[in-house]
Structure 1
Amino acid sequence: MKNQHTRRQFLGATTALVAGAVVGSNKLFGAPTLVRSLGEKPNSLVKGVQIGVITYSFRDMPDQSAEATLQYVLDSGINAIELMGGPAETFAGAPKNSVDMRAMFPLMRKRRENQTLTDDEQKQLADMEAQMKAYREEVAKWRQSASMTKFEQVRKMYNQAGVTIYGFKPDAFGMQNSDAEIDYGMRAAKTLGANQVTLEHPANDAHTLKLGKMAEKHGIRVGYHGHEQQTPTFWDTALAQSPGNAMNFDLGHYVAAGQPDPLGLIRQKHTRIASMHIKDRQTPAHGKGNLPWGQGDTPLTDVLTLMREQKYTFPATVELEYQVPAGSSSVAEVKKCLNFCRNILA
């Protein structure tokens, strides 16, 4: 507990320095010395396999700031992340979101998985979506003049704590977003140090073509995420359209979709996988559950072993979606997931 307390004190001090000490030549004064005094930095690169985490995994934590999110990542022992848009954009000065995302995410997932929503849940979700639409309009206006300086500060804060940002997932790449917003999102990703942006596959060929071509100009890749609609050919059109298009493959959802050979897909398309989400889901025959790791049907051992043996360099991203047990926290559960991977790869 003492070490965690010291680390929190450090992060507070470093954040203040990062926020206030970038002047003139954009060099930091004072912060590097503090960072070096933190001690050992996280390392989740295991036998050549980069285990990362999507910060969506910490969605149930009360503080969603960039500083708190970094603390969650550090406490999990992870050194590379796919960063959701909220923490970075809030740090950069985006309008505040009044919608309780901790209440909205479970309802969205319930609908996506074709579970029946009660009348009250349907009304609650509809109200939240209306509020989100208005909020997105506010954010779109803010993005028109958003400075990249704050995103540079986020990158420095994370990097100096030992965490790299390989992916960025703001709500800026959908069909409802303007070309200016898409351009902003890709510039922000590059500024954060990411080599990819991620989004749910839009199921629109014209849009994936546009995103791929814009990504090429920015020297970045677009990783398209899928759920139970994933098939072996799910990404083929987008991949053929542009080298800027890639896969944000979800191993667990692929298994829950009843697809029989995830290892074959990975072997075939590994050069086009920008990143892969890992979780432990059941097959349709067993109920498609999202379970604590080691209890489902997802071939985590086989896939991670394949990555190690074939020296695949795309990150395996922990996405915590099973129910956090009473008395635990998402941070503690992500740490368990990392240790599960370590045991496989050791």
Structure 2
Amino acid sequence: MHNNLQNRLTRRRFIGTAASLVAGVTAAPSLIAAPNIIRRYNKPDSLINDVQIGVITYSFRSMPDQSAEATLQYVVDSGISAIELMGDPAEAFAGKPENPVDRRSFYQLYRKERDGEALTEEEQKELADMRAQMEAYNQEVADWRQQVSMDKFSQMKKMYNDAGVTIYGFKPNAFGKDNTNEEISYGMRAAQALGASHVTLEHPSDDAHTQRLGKLARKHKMYVAYHGHTQETPTFWDTALDQSKYNAMNLDLGHYVAAGNPDPLELINAKHDRIMSMHVKDRQTPEHGQANLAWGEGDTPITEVLQTMRDQKYSFPATVELEYEIPESSNAVQEVARCLEYCRKALV
């Protein structure tokens, strides 16, 4: 499987790069762009003027195959060279038991309930049944995590690195309040085996838990970056950051704007040294409806933030998180590539 994937990646990169090279030579009277072409030859390259553009694999959730191999192909085809990896592709690659619950259906109902929308009686029953199945499944996974070897995670790191993709963040469902210390330690060890500098999770809004995670992070020398949605504020992360130097931020730029906060550049400049990675999307302010829109159509100052990262030499990656509606004529890979091109235009 690994060799076949590498052969497919090599063929696709050669064909794509050759076509780009021919197009570039035909369209331009000189080869001023040649160094950039050579730099990206045979590998994806989304490091633009020292700003690393990455992608979270959640962006490809609409694609049919969610395996580690297919996910890698999506990343490479979009032109991205660094990722925040969700747990499922990596853990499935390592042999995690298969989930009997349709996660998409589960999370649709879960988010509907979380957001205060009324569930029908049938939906309530369906959600309760899925929660019961998930509880049993989570125990099965916890038992698997107790004994799984890190060898497959190291193998996956090599497979991704060989294709030109580095893994900077890892987000398995292993860091919640209901997870044991053993599961949390497993998640951090797996992140290390994958080559990640940090793990990410939704901020638990629980000071005792962020302190617990900070202590385990110090033990494993692995940063824990907390993600937020529209509950983000300029002080949202302060308690966790004060608890441990290994507690950090996974800022979501779009959600921060949609929450009605002041200029995000003020927050980024003040706390850039505690940001491990930043999700990027284009959302509207509350006054304009908070919608997720195609990049350049919302109120999020993506260009200004990227240029500040470039000019101030901030080292954290900017992570494409595709959440706007994908046009019928397109797909997630094409839209992530479009987001990357938006970043490239902002940074060159």
TM-score range (shorter-chain normalised) is 0.7 to 0.9
1:8 deviates by: 7.1
Residue among 94, 97, 100 paired with 2:96: 94
Contact 2:5 2:69 in 1 (8 A): no
Aligned partner of 1:145 in structure 2 is: 147
Q: What amino acid sits opposite 1:338 in the alignment?
A: L
Give, in whole Å, the separation in 1 of the partners of 2:101 and 2:59.
18
Matches of 1:222 and 1:241, distance apart in 2: 12
The residue type paired with residue 315 of structure 2 is T
Query: Residues 11 and 67 of structure 1 are in contact (CA less than 8 Å); yes or no, is this contact kept in structure 2?
Result: no
Paired with 2:327 and 2:267, the residues of 1 have a C-alpha distance of 33
CA distance in 2, matches of 1:119, 1:315: 44
**Which residue matches 1:181?**
183
- Structure-2 residue corresponding to 1:165: 167
Instruction: Report Cα offsets for 1:40-61 as digits up to 9, x if no partner.
Output: 1000001111000000111111
Q: Which amino acid aligns with 1:328?
A: S
What one-letter code is carried by the residue in structure 2 that aligns with 1:94? K
Displacement of 1:115 in angstroms is: 4.3
Q: What 5-or-longer segments of structure 2 have no aligned partner? A: 12-39
Structure 1 pair 310/12, CA: closer, same or farther in 2 (3 Å)? closer
Taking the TM superposition and a 5 Å limit, the aligned residue runs for 1:299-318 are 299-318=301-320
- Residue 328 of structure 1 deviates from its aligned partner by 1.3
Partner Cα distance (2:10, 2:112) in 1: 37
In 2, Cα distance between equivalents of 1:80 and 1:319: 13
Residue matched to 1:272: 274
CA gap of 1:322–1:118, structure 2 versus 1, over 3 A, is farther
Q: Quick one: percent identity of the two aligned structures? A: 66
| Aligned position for 1:244 | 246
CA distance in 2, matches of 1:97, 1:76: 28
Shift of 1:118: 4.5
- Provide closer, same or farther for how the CA distance between residues 108 and 282 of structure 1 changes in structure 2, counting only shifts above 3 A: farther
Name the residue aligned to 2:202: 200
Question: Are 2:229 and 1:227 aligned?
Answer: yes
**What is aligned with 2:23?**
none
Give the alignment's Cα RMSD to 1 decimal: 2.0
Q: Given that residues 60 and 102 in structure 1 are in contact (C-alpha distance below 8 angstroms), is that contact kept between their aligned partners in structure 2? A: no
Indicate the residue corresponding to 1:342 in structure 2: 344
Q: How does 1:315-334 map to 2 (within 5 A)?
A: 315-334=317-336
d(CA) in 1 for partners of 2:7, 2:126: 39
2:201 match: secondary structure: strand
Contact conserved, 2:10 with 2:42, CA < 8 A, in 1?
no
AA aligned opposite 1:141:
D
Secondary structure at 2:200's aligned position in 1? strand
State the alpha-carbon separation in 2 of the partners of residues 130 and 199 from structure 1: 23
Count of aligned pairs between the two proteins: 317
**What SS does structure 2 have at the residue aligned with 1:70?**
helix
The structural deviation recorded for 1:135 is 1.6
User: Residues 171-201 of structure 1: CA distance to partner in whole angstroms, max 9, x if unpaired?
Assistant: 0000000000001000000000000000000
- Cross-structure match for 1:213: 215
Q: Which moved more, 1:158-167 or 1:133-142?
A: 133-142
Q: Deviations over 1:127-153 (max 9, x none)?
A: 333322222111001001010000010
Structure 1 pair 121/244, CA: closer, same or farther in 2 (3 Å)?
same
Aligned positions of 1:60-139 closer than 5 A: 60-139=62-141
Residue 39 to residue 342, structure 1, CA distance change in 2 (3 Å): closer
Q: TM-score scaled by structure 2?
A: 0.87
Distance in 1 between residues matched to 2:233 and 2:239, nearest whole Å = 12
Structure 1 residue runs of 5 or longer lacking an equivalent are: 1-5, 14-37
Counterpart of 1:10 in structure 2 is 8
- Distance in 1 (CA, whole Å) between partners of 2:116 and 2:330 is 28
Q: 1:125 to 1:281 in 2, by over 3 A?
A: farther
TM-score, normalization by structure 1:
0.87
Residue 279 of structure 1, CA deviation? 0.2
Give me the whole-angstrom Cα distance separating, in 2, the residues matched to 1:138 and 1:11.
Answer: 35
